[in-house]
Amino acid sequence: MRHTPDASIVFQCNICDRENQADLHQLTRDDPSCSKCGSSVRLRSIVQILTTELFGCSLRISEIPRSPELVGIGMSCWEGYADRLARHMHYRNTFYHQEPRLDITRIDPAMKGSLDFVIATDVFEHVGPPVSTAFENTRKLLKPDGVFIFSVPFTHPGGERQPTLEHFPELHDYEIEEVDGRFRLKNTTHAGAVQYFDDLVFHGGPGSTLEMRLFSEWSIVNEMENAGLHDITIYSGSDLRHGIYWPHPWSTPMAARVHPRQT
Ligand SMILES: [Zn+2]
């Protein structure tokens, strides 16, 4: 089915159930497009992928069967869906800076193999290097056949062997300073060299969450496979019923699984 960008659709938000009317061009990855809860295409797509992977079809949160046996976590998920998900599953949102805490670069060994699903949407571009540790630890947290729901901004969809662009590959002991109204990063490398970086990209406003890297599609798939995650699905198809529309192939969300017999 083809749609022109100014085509108008009616969709039901899979987070808050509100029926909305929107032009397709309004359905962008990160702009609010539900008139009630303010969810974006990316946030609704996380619910689409979670329900598709766990229940075999794209459900609204209110349609999720009560499933306390399904155990999962989010990493700094949007509270608009986090609170609702927690009513249907054994789901807990976690945070880097507040309780309940999770630092994906240093996981609690007691949590290994305990989760049916992990959600990390637009988090891994902010995790300290090497990011491979975050992918490996995510796989370790999951049970056999557990699923990882993932998104980051990425470049080069469909491209081959385009590496991640690491902004601070030698990051070790660092702080962000404000100098004359501008932010700069001061890093002392493992070898003791001092580096300064001025051209910082923050998500969520200046001084907020620092972008550590820019992934490519290939580099994400490569990281997942190296970490022991398989069955990687890139969810670039539309789910217009729920207002999910991806006219461009970059930065779309994805899912990956741990093998059923893998430990
Ligand atoms: Zn909504």
Q: Which residues surround ligand 1, an ion (CB under 5 A)?
A: 13, 15-16, 18, 34, 36-37, 39
Centre of ligand 1 to C-alpha 28, Å, is 15
pLDDT tens track, the chain, 263 positions: 555 667 999 999 999 999 999 999 999 999 999 999 999 999 999 999 999 999 999 999 999 999 999 999 999 999 999 999 999 999 999 998 889 999 999 999 999 999 999 999 999 999 999 999 999 999 999 999 999 999 999 999 998 899 999 999 999 999 999 999 899 999 999 999 999 999 999 998 777 799 999 999 999 999 999 999 999 999 999 999 999 999 999 999 999 999 988 65
Ligand 1 centroid, distance to 9 Cα (angstroms): 15
Check residue 3 and give its pLDDT: 58
Choose among 146, 39, 29: nearest CA to 82.
39
Q: 3-state DSSP call for residue 203?
A: strand
- What pLDDT is stored for residue 124 in this prediction? 97
Q: How far is the CA of 44 from the centre of ligand 1 (A)?
A: 8
What pLDDT is recorded for position 240?
97
Residue 98 is classified by DSSP as: S
pLDDT in the model for residue 261: 81
How many angstroms separate the alpha carbon of residue 202 from the centre of ligand 1?
26
pLDDT at residue number 262: 63
Q: Quote the pLDDT of residue 263.
A: 54
Domains defined for the chain, CATH in brackets: 8-160+214-257 (3.40.50.150), 168-202 (no CATH)
Nearest Cα neighbor of 185 from 201, 194, 174 is 174
Report yes or no: 175 and 186 within 8 Å, Cβ to Cβ: yes
CA of 18 to the centre of ligand 1 (A): 5
Distance from Cα 43 to the centre of ligand 1, integer Å: 10
DSSP H helical segments within 86-159, as ranges? 132-141
In which residue are the tokens 């990956």 written?
Answer: 256
Classify residue 24 by its DSSP letter. Answer: G
